[in-house]
């Protein structure tokens, strides 16, 4: 094949050969159902928060949760093979697919893959199985956080749950949660992920914890101490519904779910769980939700009751994070929402780091 190759032909070929592409670019990874998941950094990989869909209509779509990066198959080539250069990624893809005429065997594989019917072998069943497994895990976890390692972990991050008028029902404590990377059990914070519009349970977010000899609780010393189980794209973790105070009686009433709320609701959105909790304890009257991962947040679809969103941006100048946040803002505006932006002062990575600094300063003043 000679002459210019349409970009659509290149993306079609990469999508058709997504499984082979993932194995080629991520040789240390392994298959998990319909995904190719990268190995942990301890095993020579980039971390298992990087996963690529390798079958079905969305083949080639990928997410690197810890880096806030996501995209299609061509974006994956740019991300892993050409240092982010899209032009070089196109040239690399033409060669790998055999579309430049230099590798007839590769071209034959590409043509055969494109001609094959799109297979989605058990994708819906697999998603349902993972959702069910996540729900079983959620039911196993303990509702009360009082006195648990979860409460102590959050307190160590300057998050005092007692400042919330109502405990975050999305959070639970699991005393012994298996971790594949370390091949052992750890205590864990488990958070329920729901569809923003329907409220349907999608999956859960897991944060493995380590109880230190001095009593402090931190994230477990793992390459990936945070992972999701079950579908999570477009899902949210509801941290705070906000509340209203009766002017006459002083009674505090929790706001209803967004599906039953009056029009004109405002929601604070963060990409991190600790950030969401930090925003909530700073103003418990506000609605606050965590979007699980920045690269997935543009897929969130809010119900008609939401008219305004406050997007909390981290001070992350990596191109992938900036691009993902730009797409998030565009998605919210395209949905007709009023968008307000918030971020911590320069010098602080995120809302939680700023909260910790304020708490340390306040403790210093009191100690003096």
> Tokens representing 16?
């058709």
pLDDT of residue 120: 53
Question: How much is the average pLDDT of 268-289?
Answer: 95
For the stretch 151-185, pLDDT in tens is 999 999 999 999 998 999 999 999 999 888 888 99
Is pLDDT of 311 > 60? Answer: yes
Q: How far is CA 105 from CA 77, 338, 346, in A?
A: 20, 52, 53
What is the C-alpha to C-alpha distance for residues 362 and 158, in angstroms, rounded to an integer? Answer: 11
For the stretch 28-84, pLDDT in tens is 998 887 889 898 877 778 887 888 988 877 788 888 877 778 888 999 999 999 998
Is pLDDT of 136 > 70? Answer: yes
pLDDT of residue 121: 52
Please tell me the pTM assigned to this model: 0.72
What domains are defined for the chain? 7-115 (3.90.580), 127-367 (no CATH)
Question: How much is the average pLDDT of 128-145?
Answer: 89
> Tokens representing 281?
């304890």
Beta bridge partners of 71: 62
Question: How much is the average pLDDT of 133-147?
Answer: 92
Question: Which residues are CB-neighbours of 273 under 8 A, at least 6 positions away?
Answer: 189, 191, 205, 207, 226, 237, 239, 290
pLDDT of residue 368: 37
What is the C-alpha to C-alpha distance for residues 163 and 165, in angstroms, rounded to an integer? Answer: 6
Number of H helices, E strands in the chain: 11, 17
DSSP track, 272-291: SHHHHHHHHHH-TTS-EEE-
For the stretch 343-353, pLDDT in tens is 999 999 999 99
For the stretch 245-263, pLDDT in tens is 878 888 888 899 898 899 9
Within 63-203, residue ranges assigned H as helices are 73-81, 86-97, 104-115, 123-140, 149-156
Q: Tell me which of 40-49, 208-217, 292-301, 306-315 is least confident.
A: 40-49
Residue whose entry in the numeric block shows the structure tokens 């080539």: 77
Within 10 angstroms of residue 280's Cβ, the number of other Cβ atoms is 26
């Amino acid at each position: 094949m000679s002459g210019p190759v349409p970009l659509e032909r290149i993306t079609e070929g990469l999508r058709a050969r997504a499984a082979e592409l993932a194995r080629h670019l991520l040789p240390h990874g392994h298959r998990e159902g319909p995904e190719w998941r990268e190995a942990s950094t301890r095993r020579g990989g980039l971390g298992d928060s990087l996963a690529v869909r390798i079958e079905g209509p969305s083949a080639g779509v990928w997410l690197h949760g810890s880096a806030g990066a996501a995209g299609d198959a061509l974006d994956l080539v740019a991300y892993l093979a050409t240092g982010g250069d899209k032009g070089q990624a196109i040239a690399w893809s033409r060669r790998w697919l055999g579309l430049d005429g230099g590798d007839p065997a590769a071209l034959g594989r590409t043509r055969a893959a494109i001609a094959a019917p799109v297979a989605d072998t058990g994708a819906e069943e697999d998603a349902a199985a993972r959702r069910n497994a996540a729900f079983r895990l959620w039911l196993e976890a303990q509702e009360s956080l009082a006195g648990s390692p979860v409460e102590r972990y959050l307190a160590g991050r300057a998050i005092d749950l007692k400042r919330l008028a109502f405990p975050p029902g999305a959070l639970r404590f699991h005393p012994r949660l298996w971790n594949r990377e370390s091949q052992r059990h750890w205590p864990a914070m488990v958070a329920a992920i729901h569809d923003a519009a329907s409220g349907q349970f999608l999956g859960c977010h897991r944060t493995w914890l380590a109880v230190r000899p001095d009593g402090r609780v931190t994230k477990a010393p793992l390459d990936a101490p945070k992972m999701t189980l079950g579908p999570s794209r477009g899902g949210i973790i509801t941290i705070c519904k906000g509340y209203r105070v009766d002017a006459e009686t002083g009674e505090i009433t929790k706001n209803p779910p967004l599906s039953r709320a009056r029009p004109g609701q405002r929601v604070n959105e963060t990409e991190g769980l600790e950030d969401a909790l930090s925003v909530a304890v700073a103003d418990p009257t506000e609605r606050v939700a965590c979007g699980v991962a920045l690269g997935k947040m543009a897929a969130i679809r809010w119900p008609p009751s939401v008219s305004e969103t406050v997007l909390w941006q981290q001070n992350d100048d990596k191109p992938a994070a900036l691009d993902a946040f730009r797409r998030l803002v565009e998605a919210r505006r395209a949905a007709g929402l009023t968008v307000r932006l918030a971020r911590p002062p320069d010098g602080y990575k995120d809302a939680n780091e700023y909260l910790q600094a304020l708490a340390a300063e306040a403790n210093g003043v009191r100690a003096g």
